[in-house]
Structure 1
Amino acid sequence: MDDSSDPRATRSRQAILSAARELLLDQGPAGVTHQRVAQQAGVGRATVYRHWPQAEQLLLDVMDLAGLPFFAEPRVPLRAWFRRRLRELADELAMPEVAAVALTLMQGAVWDEQIARQRDQFVRTLTERIAAGLALATRSGETGGETGGEGGSTTGSGTGSTPDPHDAAAMLVGPILYRTALQGGSVPDAFIDRLVDQVLP
């Protein structure tokens, strides 16, 4: 039933989104559950389920509004910053509800244009943030060369240069997504170190 014209439904929906955004910013993606959002919004859990039957879709919607929490505000030394951000990402993706969001993005984007747009925006945001980090590392002298341009990536092995940001994003995020969401495994620190070594040799 379409309740978009019901003022009470509109208010509850806005309260839920506001509560979910607060939880996302305070606790990260794993904090956005039906139960926690209902408590934070002061509504019944059934109300949250009515608007968002799937928790992952609620998280997608609130992340779309609040912004992607990963890889924001790069810092030097970039190697340590990458390690911390990848550790956070791996820990979040190890939680079933967050892994479900990643899988929803991959699967839903094939059939749903809105989810495809969300996926594309997330990918752009991650790539831009990683590019900003690589540029900062280059300016600070942490890397020995320049990042590759669009369509012309450099691998960096033995050359002192760093990869194209699109390649770097895939090299950093892709293996962690595969290990957690697809293999259902944990990500040891040594695995993260190897990923960072590929991008910043």
Structure 2
Amino acid sequence: MSPSKVDPRAQRTRAAALAAAAELLGEGGPGAVTHAAVAERSGVGRATVYRHWPQQQHLLLDALADSTEPLLSVGEGAVRDQLVRQLAERLDWFNQSLSASVTAALIDQAERDPRTREMRQLLYGTAVEQLRAALRTGAKRGELRAGADDHAALLLTRIMGPLFFRRYLLGQALDEEFVVRSVDNALASWMPYA
């Protein structure tokens, strides 16, 4: 069906369901975004929700895309401590079996679907930009050596890479100790005393 012939009712039900999915994601995390919960919250029939998103991970991917929350959201305070805190707060999500499914779906779909590639770029690109700003601030405060911000994408890879590898390839649960090691290892060469 061409974009000009899209049923406005279908657009409205999809938008209502997606708004409900984004609310549920913000309130209860990924586990709260189910077809039944979205149908109940939005007032859209469950069959309609399934018609728009036959698989739960696709519903969750679209809810993630609709959400403005980046992978990392670094604000005030010591950069290292913020990174540890942000990632520790997401341990429950990483350790859920659904997170593996959503991550696999995102990786798979991004290879073939431009919209999913844009969503991936939004999620990770925003994280890199926020990390870059935090690293720059950390360097100004003397927490890190100057120039760390020029390597934000690499540092994000060095932080997230071990987490993704351990959780999704080795199938091992993550804990705060592992998060601390990943962050400290990534930042070690940029510490002022290194």
TM-score scaled by structure 1? 0.82
Which residue of structure 2 lines up, in the alignment, with residue 76 of structure 1? 77
Which residue of structure 2 lines up, in the alignment, with residue 189 of structure 1? 176
Contact in 2 for aligned 1:70/1:89 (Cα 8 Å): no
Contact in 2 for aligned 1:55/1:97 (Cα 8 Å): no
Aligned residue for 1:132, secondary structure, equals helix
Deviation for aligned residue 1:102: 1.1
1:105 aligned partner, one-letter code: L
TM-score scaled by structure 2? 0.84
Contact in 2 for aligned 1:90/1:180 (Cα 8 Å): no
Which residue of structure 1 lines up, in the alignment, with residue 105 of structure 2? 104
2:28 aligned partner, one-letter code: Q
Which range is displaced more, 71-80 or 167-176? 71-80
Contact in 1 for aligned 2:74/2:83 (Cα 8 Å): no
Aligned residue for 1:200, secondary structure, equals helix
Which residue of structure 1 lines up, in the alignment, with residue 87 of structure 2? 86
Flag the 1:12–1:22 CA change in 2: closer, same or farther, 3 A: same
Aligned residue for 1:46, secondary structure, equals helix
Deviation for aligned residue 1:2: 8.6
Structure with greater helix percent: 2
Distance 2:112 2:147 in 1: 38
Which residue of structure 2 lines up, in the alignment, with residue 120 of structure 1? 121
2:89 aligned partner, one-letter code: E
Deviation for aligned residue 1:132: 1.8
Distance 1:119 1:148 in 2: 21
Any residues of structure 2 matched to 1:1-201 within 5 Å, and which?
5-147=6-148, 149=150, 164-201=151-188
Contact in 1 for aligned 2:36/2:46 (Cα 8 Å): yes
Gaps of 5+ in 2: 189-194
Deviation for aligned residue 1:194: 1.0
Distance 1:75 1:29 in 2: 26
Deviation for aligned residue 1:54: 1.5
Deviation for aligned residue 1:170: 0.4
1:58 aligned partner, one-letter code: L
Distance 1:7 1:200 in 2: 50
Flag the 1:8–1:192 CA change in 2: closer, same or farther, 3 A: same
Contact in 2 for aligned 1:94/1:181 (Cα 8 Å): no
Deviation for aligned residue 1:17: 0.9
Contact in 1 for aligned 2:75/2:134 (Cα 8 Å): yes
Flag the 1:170–1:16 CA change in 2: closer, same or farther, 3 A: same
Which residue of structure 1 lines up, in the alignment, with residue 191 of structure 2? none
2:37 aligned partner, one-letter code: R
Which range is displaced more, 10-19 or 176-185? 176-185
Contact in 2 for aligned 1:76/1:136 (Cα 8 Å): no
Deviation for aligned residue 1:103: 1.0
Report the number of matched residues: 187
